[in-house]
């Protein structure tokens, strides 16, 4: 009869050790990067909390949950909202008002803003800072973006993106020359009186198309001459009535005096 081969008793132990070695090697190749990213994120949020308490807690509270009639809660606004408000100089507000004004001086570095945004993101889930691929207007379709902008945005910002007045002392600011990242974040977070255009309403590709349209508008300039603020027929008509008509009346008076 043939002799039956028997497995050595140590074979199972060797197989287990080999499996553990392979698993450990694979984990070591991946885990350190994840751990470093986690530590970096934790350090950023910790530093952001210190900056927040020193500069923002007066209005928003030490825990970021707001103070009645002073500052709103930031739970759930996300890192994108912080990056937009602080990156455009709206926050911290220089003075109380119905809305934070844009165009102010940015008071924090990009790294500090990123740290504060990382801390606010820990208060509740919210929109994150967009990836660069979706804020690059050169990759978008300005024609499609123009259609989207005229349907959803022109009633407040006007078709040229020059902005306009709203009710109760508020206004829709000009979006000409604004960076693609901040335009995207504004659509994503809905600052001030602006509605929120999340991914359900406008996809990331659609938002990029809007950015492409605004950048194309900005690059085109004003080949027709002085745009008069870009506010459309109202200032143009006012110019005709005050300057043009006034000039004609002046000429008529001058001719009348000369012929007398």
Task: Read off the pTM.
Answer: 0.72
Q: Which letter, b or e, does each residue of 184-218 get, where b requires 16 or more Cβ atoms within 10 Å of its Cβ?
A: bbbbbbbbbebeebeeeebebebbbbbbbbbbebe
Question: Looking at the domain assignment, is residue 256 inside a domain?
Answer: no
Claim to verify: residue 39 and residue 109 sit in the same structural domain: yes
The pLDDT-based confidence of 56 (bands split at 50, 70, 90) is: very high
- Domain limit, last residue, from 129, 163, 178: 129
Claim to verify: residue 89 and residue 145 sit in the same structural domain: no
Claim to verify: residue 177 and residue 188 sit in the same structural domain: yes
Nearest CA among 223, 137, 148, 151 for reference residue 183: 137
Crossing angle of the two packed helices 110-121 and 78-87, in degrees rounded to 10: 150
Question: Looking at the domain assignment, is residue 215 inside a domain?
Answer: yes
**Mean pLDDT (whole number) for 126-147:** 95
CA distance 57 to 47: 14
Lowest mean pLDDT of 1-5, 14-18, 250-254, name the range: 1-5
Bridge partners of residue 165, in order along the sequence: 171
With a cut of 70, say whether residue 46 has pLDDT above it.
yes
The pLDDT tens digits for 186-225 are 999 999 889 999 999 999 999 999 999 999 988 876 665 6
159 neighbors 230 (Cβ within 8 angstroms) = no
Claim to verify: residue 125 and residue 36 sit in the same structural domain: yes
**Mean pLDDT (whole number) for 112-119:** 96
**Mean pLDDT (whole number) for 30-46:** 61
Claim to verify: residue 89 and residue 99 sit in the same structural domain: yes
The pLDDT-based confidence of 33 (bands split at 50, 70, 90) is: very low
The pLDDT tens digits for 149-158 are 999 999 999 8
Bridge partners of residue 164, in order along the sequence: 172
Number of compact structural domains in the chain: 2
Could you list the residue range(s) of the whole structural domain that residue 63 is in?
A: 32-129
Integer angstrom CA distances of residue 52 from 39, 64, 114, 118: 20, 8, 11, 11
Query: Tokens 């008002």 belong to which residue?
Result: 97
Question: Looking at the domain assignment, is residue 216 inside a domain?
Answer: yes
The pLDDT tens digits for 83-99 are 999 999 999 887 777 88
Contacts by 104-112, CB closer than 8 A, 24 or more apart: 108/51, 108/55, 112/48, 112/51
Question: Looking at the domain assignment, is residue 11 inside a domain?
Answer: no
């Amino acid at each position: 009869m043939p002799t039956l081969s028997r497995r050595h008793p140590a074979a199972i132990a060797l197989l287990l050790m080999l499996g553990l070695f392979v698993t450990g090697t694979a984990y070591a190749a991946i885990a350190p990067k994840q751990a470093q990213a986690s530590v970096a994120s934790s350090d950023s949020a910790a530093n952001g909390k210190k900056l927040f308490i020193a500069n923002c807690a007066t209005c928003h509270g030490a825990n970021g949950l707001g103070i009645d009639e002073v500052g709103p809660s930031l739970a759930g606004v996300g890192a994108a909202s912080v990056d937009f408000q602080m990156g455009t100089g709206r926050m911290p507000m220089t003075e109380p008002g119905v809305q934070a004004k844009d165009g102010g001086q940015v008071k924090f570095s990009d790294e500090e803003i990123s740290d504060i945004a990382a801390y606010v993101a820990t208060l509740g889930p919210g929109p994150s800072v967009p990836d660069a691929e979706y804020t690059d207007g050169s990759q978008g379709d300005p024609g499609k973006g123009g259609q989207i902008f005229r349907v959803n945005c022109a009633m407040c910002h006007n078709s040229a993106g020059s902005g306009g007045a709203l009710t109760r002392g508020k206004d829709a600011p000009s979006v000409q020359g604004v960076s693609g990242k901040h335009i995207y974040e504004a659509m994503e977070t809905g600052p001030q009186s602006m509605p929120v255009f999340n991914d359900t309403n406008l996809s990331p590709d659609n938002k990029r198309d809007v950015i492409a349209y605004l950048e194309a508008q900005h690059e085109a300039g004003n080949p027709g001459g002085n745009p008069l603020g870009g506010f459309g027929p109202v200032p143009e008509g006012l110019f005709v009535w005050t300057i043009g008509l006034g000039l004609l009346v002046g000429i008529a008076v001058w001719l009348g005096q000369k012929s007398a």
